[in-house]
Structure 1
Amino acid sequence: MSVGFNFSDYFGIDVPMEKEEKKVEKKAKKTTEKKDNSKKKTTTEKKYSLPVVVHSEWGDLKVEGLGEMSLKEIKKNLELPKVIKLKEIDDELFAMDDLTNVKTLKKSDSIDGMIFIEGQWITLPNEMTVKEAVNFITKEYPELPGDNIDICSFENGKYVIKFSNSIDLSMKFYSHFRMGFVGNLISYDFIKENNPSISLKEAISEFTKEKPWTKKVEMNWFFNEKSKSIIGKIVDNSNLTTKSLYVKLPAAIRFIHDAGPLKNGLTPDMFDGKEYVTDKEILKIVLKYFPDIYKDGNTDISYAEAVNTVCVLRQGRSKGSGSLIGCLNSEGEYAFKLPKMPKNFLEEITNYFIENLPNEALVQIAFDCKTEEYRIIKPKTVTNTVSVKWNDIETLLALNTYESIVCEIHSHDTMPAFFSHIDDEDEKIPMIYGVFGRLDTQNVEKIFRAKLNEKFYPIKLSDIFNL
Structure 2
Amino acid sequence: MTKVEQTDIFSMFDIEDEAVIKLEAAKAAAVKKREEQIEKLRKSNEEKKEAKASTPAAPKKDPFKVLVDTIVRYAGMDLPVTNYFSIEELENGLPTKKKKKDDDGEESAFEPISENALRKKLEDDFPELVANFTQLVYIEKKNIIVPVLSAKKKGMVDCKETSASAEVSSCSKKKKIPFHILADFIVVAKDFSSKFGTEVHADIYLDRDKGTFILDFPKQVVNAVLCSIDDDNAWLYVEKYGDRNLMKIMEIHSHHVMPAIPSPVDDANERSPILYAIVGRLDKFFPDLIVRTFNKETQKHFNINPSNVFENPVFDDYATYLSDISNVEVE
CA deviation after TM superposition for structure 1 residue 420, in Å: 1.1
Counterpart for residue 202 of structure 1: none
Counterpart for residue 284 of structure 1: 117
Determine the C-alpha separation between the residues in 2 that align with 1:431 and 1:299.
13
Q: AA paired with 1:455?
A: K
Determine the C-alpha separation between the residues in 2 that align with 1:439 and 1:353.
8
Query: What does 1:13-24 align with in structure 2 at a 5 Å threshold?
Result: none
Q: AA paired with 1:303?
A: Y
CA deviation after TM superposition for structure 1 residue 425, in Å: 1.6
1:249-302: per-residue Cα shift (whole Å, max 9, x none)? 644546xxxx46x9314446745075898863453232123156545x886544
- SS of residue paired to 2:78: coil
Contact 2:178/2:310 (<8 A) preserved: yes
Is structure 2 residue 304 aligned with structure 1 residue 459?
yes
Is structure 2 residue 229 aligned with structure 1 residue 390?
yes
Query: What does 1:4-43 align with in structure 2 at a 5 Å threshold?
Result: none
RMSD: 3.8
CA deviation after TM superposition for structure 1 residue 457, in Å: 1.9
1:88-127: per-residue Cα shift (whole Å, max 9, x none)? xxxxxxxxxxxxxxxxxxxxxxxxxxxxxxxxxxxxxxxx
Q: AA paired with 1:272?
A: I
Counterpart for residue 52 of structure 2: none
Contact 1:250/1:265 (<8 A) preserved: no
Q: 1:282 to 1:412 in 2, by over 3 A?
A: closer
Is structure 2 residue 217 aligned with structure 1 residue 375?
no
Contact 1:248/1:276 (<8 A) preserved: no
1:107-157: per-residue Cα shift (whole Å, max 9, x none)? xxxxxxxxxxxxxxxxxxxxxxxxx9xx9xxxxxxxxxxx9xxxxxxxxxx
Determine the C-alpha separation between the residues in 1 that align with 2:151 and 2:184.
28
- SS of residue paired to 1:388: strand
Is structure 2 residue 186 aligned with structure 1 residue 344?
no
Determine the C-alpha separation between the residues in 2 that align with 1:366 and 1:244.
26
1:286-321: per-residue Cα shift (whole Å, max 9, x none)? 2123156545x88654434355443446788289xx
Contact 2:204/2:249 (<8 A) preserved: yes
Query: What does 1:400-419 align with in structure 2 at a 5 Å threshold?
Result: 400-419=243-262
Determine the C-alpha separation between the residues in 1 that align with 2:69 and 2:215.
30
Identical residues among aligned pairs (%): 21
Determine the C-alpha separation between the residues in 1 that align with 2:153 and 2:261.
18
Taking structure 2 as the reference length, the TM-score comes to 0.52
- Size of the alignment, in residue pairs? 210
1:410-466: per-residue Cα shift (whole Å, max 9, x none)? 011111111112211211100111111121231211111122333322112211111
CA deviation after TM superposition for structure 1 residue 345, in Å: 1.5
1:204-244: per-residue Cα shift (whole Å, max 9, x none)? xxxxxxxxxxxxxxxxxxxxxxxxxxxxxxxxxxxxxxx97
Q: AA paired with 2:199?
A: E
Determine the C-alpha separation between the residues in 1 that align with 2:246 and 2:205.
6
- SS of residue paired to 2:152: coil
Q: 1:284 to 1:463 in 2, by over 3 A?
A: same
Q: AA paired with 1:395?
A: Y
Counterpart for residue 207 of structure 1: none
Greater relative contact order (Cα < 8 A, sep 6+) = 2
Is structure 2 residue 138 aligned with structure 1 residue 303?
yes
Counterpart for residue 356 of structure 1: 192
Pairing partner for 1:424 from 267, 273, 284: 267
Determine the C-alpha separation between the residues in 2 that align with 1:400 and 1:336.
27
Q: AA paired with 2:308?
A: D
1:12-50: per-residue Cα shift (whole Å, max 9, x none)? xxxxxxxxxxxxxxxxxxxxxxxxxxxxxxxxxxxxxxx
Q: 1:249 to 1:389 in 2, by over 3 A?
A: farther
Determine the C-alpha separation between the residues in 2 that align with 1:352 and 1:279.
44
Pairing partner for 2:78 from 258, 264, 283: 264
Contact 2:153/2:227 (<8 A) preserved: no
Determine the C-alpha separation between the residues in 2 that align with 1:414 and 1:284.
42
Q: AA paired with 1:380?
A: K
Determine the C-alpha separation between the residues in 2 that align with 1:316 and 1:448.
16
Counterpart for residue 320 of structure 2: none
Determine which structure has the larger helix proportion and give its number.
Answer: 2
Contact 2:201/2:217 (<8 A) preserved: yes
Determine the C-alpha separation between the residues in 2 that align with 1:423 and 1:305.
35
Is structure 2 residue 264 aligned with structure 1 residue 438?
no
Contact 2:206/2:246 (<8 A) preserved: yes
CA deviation after TM superposition for structure 1 residue 342, in Å: 0.7
Determine the C-alpha separation between the residues in 1 that align with 2:219 and 2:261.
24
Determine the C-alpha separation between the residues in 2 that align with 1:247 and 1:389.
30
Q: AA paired with 2:171?
A: F
Which is higher, the Rg of structure 1 or of structure 2? 2
Determine the C-alpha separation between the residues in 1 that align with 2:191 and 2:244.
31
Q: AA paired with 2:263?
A: S
Q: 1:457 to 1:352 in 2, by over 3 A?
A: same
Q: AA paired with 1:305?
A: E
Q: 1:377 to 1:281 in 2, by over 3 A?
A: same
Determine the C-alpha separation between the residues in 2 that align with 1:362 and 1:299.
18
Taking structure 1 as the reference length, the TM-score comes to 0.38
Q: AA paired with 2:113?
A: K
Counterpart for residue 29 of structure 2: none
